[in-house]
């Protein structure tokens, strides 16, 4: 008798996926992956230039409907109007990739020592990294409940929301030409994302809304060779990740292939968390 695997389906055709932080580096790959799987894409970011260009490219290349919308996710009214606009243009939202995260223009203040860290910078980072996640998940979750179809929410965390960074890898390392570290505010905010995800997974389970974390390890994105070598030495697979290696887990969590998966933190870290 043949085995029935009819529900193992990675296709997203007919779904509407909303992704925040859609102008970011990883989001270029995330949005392409969702579109390639057939989803219509709402690209949300505070800056409009990149998301408008990406929306046009995705629509042309993958023959899906797209919609770009600027939004300040730290403002409740901005989030509410954004969710309404997305549903008006693309229909019921069934996938949320809560992906936005902040990094200030002044990297000196962002990478400052903990003992001297500015409370203003801390609050600015928390406003996007966790307050924004709260506001977006709240608004989209409410929308999913109202349309009754359920949905999948995927929230981007970080390996440093689970593990503390090894401070030794930062000696002689730089990013975009300046000294680099992982600030405590980043770790604290990403740990909060994991906690929020687990809470929502149980809170909304009866509404058929699944909530999971996608947790990237270190991805090559402008670090110098010293950093790459020191980081890679900590990884069982012996290298940093490439951006496209994050996409498969996103499609899995967004699709019905993961229909019995909720409250999980999927780590794409080359094995770092295994030792």
Residue 8 lies in a domain: no
Residue 86 lies in a domain: yes
Residue 5 lies in a domain: no
Count of structural domains within the chain = 1
Residue 121's nearest CA partner among 106, 136, 135, 132 is 106
Residue 4 lies in a domain: no
Give residue 100's pLDDT band: very low, low, confident or very high (50, 70, 90): very high
Alpha carbon distance 155, 20 (integer Å)? 10
106 near 124, Cβ under 8 Å?
Answer: no
62 assigned to active site: no
Residue 69 lies in a domain: yes
Furthest C-alpha separation in the chain: 67
The reported pLDDT for the residue numbered 20 is 98
Residue 132's nearest CA partner among 193, 202, 199 is 193
Task: State pLDDT tens for residues 247-261.
Answer: 999 999 999 999 999
Alpha carbon distance 54, 26 (integer Å)? 13
Residue 242's nearest CA partner among 9, 17, 2, 29 is 29
The reported pLDDT for the residue numbered 2 is 66
User: Does position 1 have pLDDT exceeding 80, yes or no?
Assistant: no
The reported pLDDT for the residue numbered 3 is 63
Residue 63 lies in a domain: yes
**What would the mean pLDDT of 30-57 be, rounded to a whole number?**
97
Residue 145's nearest CA partner among 96, 100, 194 is 96
The reported pLDDT for the residue numbered 7 is 67
**Average of per-residue pLDDT values in the chain:** 94
CATH number at residue 39: 3.40.50.720
The reported pLDDT for the residue numbered 36 is 98
**What would the mean pLDDT of 163-182 be, rounded to a whole number?**
85
Q: Which of 5-14, 31-40, 190-199 has the lowest mean pLDDT?
A: 5-14
Residue 254 lies in a domain: yes
71 SS3 class: coil
Range of the domain at 161: 16-267
Among 110, 186, 231, 260, the one annotated catalytic = 186
**What would the mean pLDDT of 42-66 be, rounded to a whole number?**
97
Alpha carbon distance 41, 32 (integer Å)? 9
pTM of the model: 0.94
**What would the mean pLDDT of 157-184 be, rounded to a whole number?**
88
Residue 50 lies in a domain: yes
User: Does position 5 have pLDDT exceeding 70, yes or no?
Assistant: no
Running DSSP on this structure, what letter comes out for residue 240? P
Alpha carbon distance 157, 198 (integer Å)? 12
**What would the mean pLDDT of 146-164 be, rounded to a whole number?**
97
98 near 197, Cβ under 8 Å?
Answer: no
The reported pLDDT for the residue numbered 6 is 63
């Amino acid at each position: 008798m043949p085995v029935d695997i009819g529900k193992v389906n990675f296709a997203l055709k007919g779904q509407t996926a909303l992704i925040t932080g859609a102008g970011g580096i990883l989001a270029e790959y995330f949005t392409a992956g969702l579109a390639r799987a057939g989803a219509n894409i709402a690209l949300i970011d505070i800056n409009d230039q990149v998301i408008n260009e990406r929306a046009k490219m995705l629509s042309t290349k993958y023959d899906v409907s797209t919609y770009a919308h600027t939004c300040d996710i730290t403002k409740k009214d901005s989030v509410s109007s954004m969710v309404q606009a997305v549903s008006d243009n693309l229909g019921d939202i069934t996938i949320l990739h809560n992906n936005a995260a902040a990094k200030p223009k002044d990297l000196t203040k962002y990478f400052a020592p903990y003992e001297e860290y500015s409370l203003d910078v801390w609050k600015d980072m928390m406003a996007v990294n966790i307050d924004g996640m709260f506001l977006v998940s709240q608004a989209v979750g409410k929308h999913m409940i109202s349309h009754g179809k359920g949905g999948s929410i995927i929230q981007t965390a970080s390996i440093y929301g689970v593990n503390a960074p090894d401070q030794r890898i930062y000696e002689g390392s730089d990013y975009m030409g300046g000294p680099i570290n992982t600030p405590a505010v980043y770790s604290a905010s990403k740990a909060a994302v994991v906690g929020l995800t687990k809470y929502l997974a149980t809170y909304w389970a009866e509404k058929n809304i699944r909530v999971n974390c996608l947790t990237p390890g270190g991805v090559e994105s402008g670090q110098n060779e010293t950093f790459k070598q020191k980081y890679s030495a900590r990884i069982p697979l012996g290298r940093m990740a490439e951006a496209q290696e994050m996409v498969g887990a996103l499609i899995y969590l967004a699709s019905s292939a993961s229909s019995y998966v909720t409250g999980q933190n999927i780590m794409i870290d080359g094995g770092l968390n295994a030792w």
